[in-house]
């Protein structure tokens, strides 16, 4: 094990002197001698721990003034060396040791013990601050050490810049962060941590041009800094300079062709350029080199879902949920995949997990209500829509969903009320116009039907959609049929059939046949509520 050069020199001088003249008497002298000899030949962290114990014992037993001072120096330097050796597994490796939280937990008490003997030990303060700046660190403790380091490093510009960067990383105040980082860059323009940290702060604040300038400077200092290329590419996408962004992503990939991050970034650029196939090729690479890259799996799943490759999308989502169970984005996407396959019970189970995580999330509640209605549980859906509308009575999606659910249970009056409220908020909403007109024209309830108003509202819906939507033309036809004008009803019904496709066309043909017989169309639903979901494998579920 190599020792700190200065300390090695001191130890050699001390040992030589010890052979030349008699030592001053002291009960701790023997322990100090053993500690000194062991430090010279130390080969492991265990040896260093023994040196510390011997130094503490020597100081406790008693030494003369000179030897006491030396023992304290040996003790503090050994504690620091041991902590530094341990934390090199965190800071000096491309992939930190997964046990790094435990290493921090061991190293910090050693550094604090060193500071008990020498409160002005700059390197110990710097290492404590660096460790506490890691995820899950104690920010206040780190800030105290960073503050001390800033004061102690006044005459050392390199370490002062390092201390300022650490203090910036440990504060949550943006202005203080920027002030410290600006000072660090001014003191040491080539400080990579200062440039990187300030660049990221500017990038997160939406100051893309300034962030690019920082990372360009970082590249001048360190031409192989992949973070800089990634960050510039990210900033370029914010500025919608996709061609330039791609160039930097290409450089990042060239630097690290077997890392997933560059491919992931370039894939996102391709998505922004609507080059989905190129994005998928890069995401395949990202997953190949980073099988645990959650963002790559999720993005690929979304793109596969959009391309209607549902099985492949589901495989990616399931992989994500194995890596990070309960991840909201993955659960939501899987629910949508289930919903597309009409596996509504499975979709609802995923949504229930999401609602448990975030009970007031409107998006989750609306999606849940939609699947409840689709799975023949309109009454349960109405309860969820009620919950959303209790918080925001102007939510158009909730009003539309609840109105449609009311139709499913045959409550036409309440459905009309919701459609009317929608139109107060958005008078050209084609869905609300069409459905309102349809109920007014086709309801089996005499007190609900209103032919004149149905024609007016249906015509407005046709105008909004340029008379190009088959189902809306069929509504206008139904309104005329209700008024007794079957010639107009047949005219618009025939046009609806011309525009329609698939199952819709068959339904519209039936309506046309009715009008040919001069019979108005009547419709009411009364869906029998399916029971609440049964227990899924491994748990229970209820709505």
How far is Cα 100 from Cα 93, in angstroms, rounded to an integer?
A: 11
Per the structure, the count of domains in the chain is: 1
CATH number where 435 lies: 1.25.40.10
Please say whether the beta carbons of 459 and 440 come within 8 A: no
Dihedral over Cα of 274, 278, 280, 286: its sign: negative
Do the domain assignments include residue 377?
A: no
Please say whether the beta carbons of 78 and 39 come within 8 A: yes
Q: What is the pLDDT of residue 93?
A: 84
Q: Which 3 state secondary structure label does DSSP give 259?
A: coil
Q: Which domain holds residue 505?
A: 426-516
Q: What is the pLDDT of residue 512?
A: 96
Do the domain assignments include residue 371?
A: no
How far is Cα 241 from Cα 250, in angstroms, rounded to an integer?
A: 14
**Percent of the chain topping pLDDT 90:** 83
Do the domain assignments include residue 143?
A: no
Do the domain assignments include residue 342?
A: no
* Spans of the chain, pLDDT less than 50: 1-24, 535-543
**Spatial CB neighbours of 208, under 8 Å, sequence gap ≥ 6:** 202, 235, 236, 238, 239
- As a dihedral over the C-alpha atoms of residue 272, residue 282, residue 259, residue 246, rounded to 10 degrees, the angle is -40
Q: What is the pLDDT of residue 366?
A: 97
Using the structure block, give the residue that is written with the tokens 């943006």. 174
Query: How many residues belong to the chain?
Result: 543
Q: What is the pLDDT of residue 534?
A: 62
Do the domain assignments include residue 529?
A: no
Do the domain assignments include residue 249?
A: no
**Spatial CB neighbours of 41, under 8 Å, sequence gap ≥ 6:** 47
Do the domain assignments include residue 157?
A: no
For the record, the structure tokens of 211 come out as 């962030």
Do the domain assignments include residue 447?
A: yes
């Amino acid at each position: 094990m190599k020792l700190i050069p200065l300390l090695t020199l001191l130890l050699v001088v001390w040992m030589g002197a010890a052979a030349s003249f008699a030592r001053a008497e002291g009960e701790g002298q023997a322990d100090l001698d053993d500690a000194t000899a062991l430090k010279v030949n130390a080969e492991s962290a265990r040896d260093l721990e023994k040196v510390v114990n011997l130094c503490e014992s020597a100081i406790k037993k008693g030494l003369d003034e000179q030897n006491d001072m030396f023992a304290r120096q040996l003790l503090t330097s050994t504690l620091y060396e041991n902590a530094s050796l341990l934390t090199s597994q965190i800071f000096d490796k491309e992939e930190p040791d997964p046990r790094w939280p435990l290493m921090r937990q061991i190293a910090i008490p050693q550094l604090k013990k060193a500071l008990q003997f020498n409160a002005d030990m700059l390197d110990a303060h710097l290492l404590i601050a660096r460790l506490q700046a890691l995820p899950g660190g104690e920010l206040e403790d780190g800030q105290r050490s960073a503050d001390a380091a800033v004061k102690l490093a006044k005459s050392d510009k390199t370490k002062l810049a390092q201390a300022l960067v650490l203090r910036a990383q440990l504060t949550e105040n943006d202005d203080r962060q920027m002030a410290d980082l600006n000072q660090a860059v001014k003191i040491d323009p080539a400080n990579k941590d200062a440039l990187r940290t300030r660049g990221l702060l500017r990038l997160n604040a939406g100051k893309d041009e300034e962030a690019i300038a920082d990372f360009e400077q970082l590249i001048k200092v360190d031409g192989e800094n992949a973070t800089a290329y990634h960050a510039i590419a990210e900033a370029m996408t914010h500025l919608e300079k996709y061609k330039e962004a791609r160039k930097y992503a290409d450089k990042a990939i060239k630097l690290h062709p077997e890392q997933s991050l560059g491919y992931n970034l370039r894939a996102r650029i391709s998505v922004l350029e609507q080059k989905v196939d190129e994005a998928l090729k890069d995401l395949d690479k990202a997953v190949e080199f980073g099988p645990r890259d959650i963002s790559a799996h999720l993005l690929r799943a979304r793109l596969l879902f959009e391309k209607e490759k549902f099985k492949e999308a589901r495989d990616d989502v399931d992989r994500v949920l194995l890596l990070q169970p309960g991840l909201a984005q993955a659960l939501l996407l899987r629910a949508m995949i289930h919903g597309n396959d009409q596996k509504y019970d499975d979709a609802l189970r995923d949504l229930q997990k999401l609602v448990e995580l975030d009970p007031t999330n409107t998006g989750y509640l609306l999606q849940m209500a939609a699947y409840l209605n689709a799975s023949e549980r309109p009454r349960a859906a109405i309860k969820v829509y009620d919950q959303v509308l209790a918080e925001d009575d102007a939510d158009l999606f909730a009003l539309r969903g609840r109105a449609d659910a009311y139709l499913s249970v045959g409550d036409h009056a309440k459905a009309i009320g919701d459609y009317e409220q929608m139109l107060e908020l958005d008078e050209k909403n084609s869905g609300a116009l069409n459905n309102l007109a349809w109920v007014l024209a086709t309801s089996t309830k005499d007190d609900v039907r209103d032919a004149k108003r149905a024609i007016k509202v249906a015509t407005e819906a046709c105008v909004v959609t340029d008379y190009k939507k088959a189902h809306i033309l069929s509504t206008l036809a139904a309104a005329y049929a209700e008024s007794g004008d079957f010639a107009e009803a047949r005219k618009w019904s025939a046009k609806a059939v011309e525009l329609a496709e698939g199952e819709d066309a068959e339904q519209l043909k039936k309506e046309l046949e009715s009008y040919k017989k001069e019979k108005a169309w009547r419709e009411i639903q009364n869906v029998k509520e399916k029971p609440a979901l049964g227990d899924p494998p491994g748990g229970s579920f209820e709505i």
